[in-house]
Structure 1
Amino acid sequence: MSPELALTELRRGLEVALWVGGPLLLAVLVVGVVVGIIQAATQLNEPTIAFIAKAVALTASLFALGSFLLAYLVDYTTALFQRIPHLIG
């Protein structure tokens, strides 16, 4: 395996990780910022509120996008397994 091929496969793997994790992290980030602004405005500094809101947002995102993210991950894994002979020889 040449270094270029290894770097290409690594880049593809990182892209898949970004596509799978990105929407979930973005949802948690948005909810965290909104809850933080609300807590700062009301001076209610309870960490449990932020944690529960983020957990609910993550669960809702997984329910909404779970099938798409899983299909994307399965497609990548299938393509990677099909490329194994090319990667070895």
Structure 2
Amino acid sequence: MDVNELTSMFSEAIFLVVAMVGVLVVPGLLVGLLIAVFQAATQVNEQTLSFLPRLILTLLMVVFAGEWLLQQIGDFFNRLFMNIPHIIG
């Protein structure tokens, strides 16, 4: 296996991790930002106010995007395991 194939495999793995984290974290960050703007506008300084909506949204994203996330990581590992003979030999 040459260096180009190895680097493309690593770049695909890193892109997969970034995509998976982005799907789960970015919506929570946006909701947290909206709640922070609301808190700043109303001067409500409650720390726990933003926790529950972010938690619920993250759990909903796991429910809705979980199948896609598992499919993507399963496909990647399947390609990785199928390439083991090519990597070794």
TM-score by length of 1: 0.89
Q: Give the SS at the match of 2:44.
A: coil
Q: Is 1:20–1:73's contact at 8 Å kept on the other side of the alignment?
A: no
Q: 2:84 corresponds to which letter in structure 1? A: I
**Stretches of structure 2 lacking an aligned partner (at least 5 in a row):** none
Q: Is 1:28–1:58's contact at 8 Å kept on the other side of the alignment?
A: yes
What is the match of residue 17 of structure 1?
17
Q: Pick which of 36-45 and 2-11 moved more.
A: 2-11
Cα deviation 1:38-87 (Å, max 9, x = unaligned): 11111111111112221111001111111111111111111111111112
Q: 2:72 corresponds to which letter in structure 1? A: Y
Q: Distance in 1 between matches of 2:45 and 2:57?
A: 19
**Stretches of structure 1 lacking an aligned partner (at least 5 in a row):** none
Cα deviation 1:17-40 (Å, max 9, x = unaligned): 122111111111111111111111
Compute the RMSD of aligned alpha carbons.
1.3
* 1:26-37 pair list within 5 angstroms: 26-37=26-37
TM-score by length of 2: 0.89
Q: Distance in 1 between matches of 2:82 and 2:47?
A: 47
Q: Distance in 2 between matches of 1:11 and 1:4?
A: 10
Q: 2:21 corresponds to which letter in structure 1? A: G
Q: Give the SS at the match of 1:66.
A: helix
Runs of 4+ in 1 over 4 A off after TM superposition: none
